[in-house]
Structure 1
Amino acid sequence: MVGSNRNRKIRLSVRYAIAVVLLLVMVYPYLYMVLNSLADWSQVDRKLIPDAFTLKSYQWLFLGGETGVTRPWIGSFLNSIVVSLLSTALMMAFGVMVAYALSKLRFRGRDTVNNFILFHMFFPAIILLIPSFLIVQKLGWYDTYWALIIPKGVSLWAVFMYTNFFKAVPDAFIEAAKLDGARDFQILYKIMLPMSKSITSVIFLFLLMERWTELLWDMIMVRSDHMLTLNVLLSQMFGPYGTYPGPLYAGSVLLSLPIIILFILFGKKFQEGMQFTLK
């Protein structure tokens, strides 16, 4: 009996040790980035754990670098926030309305539309990059917020996720609401959406993270410094600013910080939504 308890404790200790090691492996790259963003420039990328720290890298970003060239970091950060939030809001609004129609309304061609969405989800999006760019140019949207927001305002993945969730909602709720005189928009926003808070958290976080880290589209659609998003500005640092790795790490921290905060705030709802998606 004593031996079995001892073996159980040993196995448990080994599992905890493995879990801690895996956690450190996963967390250390981000920790390395944060430490090097705060490290003295003489120690950046030269020590695994720096021992001299300074805010010089962040001062370089926001107050202008030693080169005398002030980069629009604050403006780019605000651009990323505005573009990401508005694009995500459009994607979710479009996804909710289309998903409700596909799951709860009866109309001719519904199955065809559903099959097209499934097909398009597996279609390489990069193939449509040049046609999309030409359309944006023809509309006169190039180097504007319209080019960064409107073409990215549709997510078929969001439509697919919401459709599967709405199909699981009993039709009795819809029929009872219609008997009380409710219209489809009222049913959608007063019944369906409150019931889908958990899956909405998952969709919101994934869409926002995807749009926040978008690089190729933003690089193609803007040329002015005042229109750059933060990730595009960071990518430019690998060129003329490659000799300043400290500010590069500081910019990377700023880029990842909002996503981490959102995951902390919506962590519980995110877990509930993921449990539904895995069923």
Structure 2
Amino acid sequence: MVGSNRNSTGKLVVRYVVAAILLFMMVYPYLYMVLNSFADWTQIDRKFIPNSFSTKSYEWLFSGGETGITRPWVSSFFNSVLVSIASTALMMMSGIMVAYALSKLNFRGRDTINNFVLFHMFFPAIILLIPTFLIVQKVGLYDTYWGMILPKAVSLWAIFMYTNFFKAIPSVFIEAAKLDGASDFKIMYRIMLPMSKSITTVIFLFLIMERWTELLWDMIIVRSDDMLTLNVLLSQMFGPYGTYPGPLYAASVLLTLPIIILFIFFGKKFQEGMQFNLK
């Protein structure tokens, strides 16, 4: 008995050590980025843990670098928040409505639409980049917020995820609601959506992260300086200043910080949603 207890304790210690090493490997790249964003410029990328810190990189970033021109950081951050939230909201609304129709309504062509969604998910998005740009330019949405938002208003991945989740919800709830006179719209947002909080959190986090980090579309659809998103602003700023690693680390920290805060805030619901997906 004593030997078996020692073996189990030894195995447990090994598991904790391996888990700690793996956790450190995953966390350290971001920690390295944060430390170097505050490190003295003479120690950036020269030590694993700098021993001299300053805010020079952030001061350089917000002062416009060598140009001395103050960049519109506040307006660019606002543009990123506005575009990301609006696009994510539209993607989730369209995903819920289409998924409800594909999972709970019977109509001609439902299987064809479902197969089209699955088939279209395998297409790289860049294939439709030029046709989408030409359409947006033709309808007069070039260099506007709507030009950045509307082409990103539908997510086939969100439709796929919601469809699979809604199929697992018993139809008896919908039938009972219809007997009480509830419309399909009310059923969607009063019954289906509250029952899918966990998967909604997963979809929301992935969609807003994808839209927040979007660069290529915002770069080609925006021309005015006051319409730039944070990603585009940083890409323009570090074009001629790519040899300044400190400010580059600082900019990366500013970009990733909102996403990390969201993941921490919705962590519990995110885990619940991921557990459902793995079942």
- Shorter chain as denominator, the TM-score bin is over 0.9
> Does 2:12 correspond to 1:9?
no
Mean CA deviation greater in 152-161 or 57-66: 57-66
Task: State how far apart, in whole Å, the 1-side matches of 2:12 and 2:166 are.
Answer: 42
Counterpart in the other structure of 1:206: 206
Q: Contact 1:234–1:252 at 8 Å: present in 2 too?
A: no
Task: State how far apart, in whole Å, the 1-side matches of 2:38 and 2:106 are.
Answer: 58
Task: State how far apart, in whole Å, the 1-side matches of 2:234 and 2:82 are.
Answer: 18
Task: State how far apart, in whole Å, the 2-side matches of 1:58 and 1:238 are.
Answer: 14
Counterpart in the other structure of 2:262: 262
Q: Give 1:265's aligned amino acid.
A: F
> Does 2:244 correspond to 1:244?
yes
Q: Secondary structure at the match of 2:65?
A: coil
Counterpart in the other structure of 2:105: 105
1:4 Cα deviation (Å)?
2.8
1:66 Cα deviation (Å)?
4.2
Counterpart in the other structure of 2:138: 138
TM-score with structure 2 setting the length: 0.96
TM-score with structure 1 setting the length: 0.96
Task: State how far apart, in whole Å, the 2-side matches of 1:76 and 1:192 are.
Answer: 36
Q: Secondary structure at the match of 1:37?
A: helix
Gaps of 5+ in 2: none
Q: Contact 1:237–1:248 at 8 Å: present in 2 too?
A: no
Q: Give 1:156's aligned amino acid.
A: L
1:231 Cα deviation (Å)?
1.7
Task: State how far apart, in whole Å, the 1-side matches of 2:245 and 2:223 are.
Answer: 24
Counterpart in the other structure of 2:173: 173
Counterpart in the other structure of 1:277: 277
Mean CA deviation greater in 232-241 or 153-162: 232-241
Q: Contact 1:38–1:54 at 8 Å: present in 2 too?
A: yes
Task: State how far apart, in whole Å, the 2-side matches of 1:139 and 1:20 are.
Answer: 54
CA root-mean-square deviation: 1.4
Gaps of 5+ in 1: none
Task: State how far apart, in whole Å, the 2-side matches of 1:52 and 1:204 are.
Answer: 39
Task: State how far apart, in whole Å, the 2-side matches of 1:248 and 1:73 are.
Answer: 15
Counterpart in the other structure of 2:188: 188
Task: State how far apart, in whole Å, the 1-side matches of 2:100 and 2:8 are.
Answer: 51
Counterpart in the other structure of 1:61: 61
Task: State how far apart, in whole Å, the 1-side matches of 2:131 and 2:64 are.
Answer: 38
> Does 2:96 correspond to 1:83?
no
Q: Secondary structure at the match of 2:92?
A: helix
Q: Contact 1:62–1:74 at 8 Å: present in 2 too?
A: no
1:59 Cα deviation (Å)?
2.2
Q: Give 2:252's aligned amino acid.
A: S
Percent identical among aligned pairs is: 79
Q: Contact 2:33–2:249 at 8 Å: present in 1 too?
A: yes
Task: State how far apart, in whole Å, the 2-side matches of 1:251 and 1:47 are.
Answer: 20
Mean CA deviation greater in 64-73 or 84-93: 64-73
> Does 2:37 correspond to 1:37?
yes
The superposition leaves residues 69-117 of structure 1 with CA deviations (integer Å, 9 ceiling, x where unpaired) of: 2222222221111111100000000000111111111111111111111
The superposition leaves residues 186-244 of structure 1 with CA deviations (integer Å, 9 ceiling, x where unpaired) of: 11111111101011000000101111111211121112222221122222344212132
Q: Contact 2:92–2:158 at 8 Å: present in 1 too?
A: yes
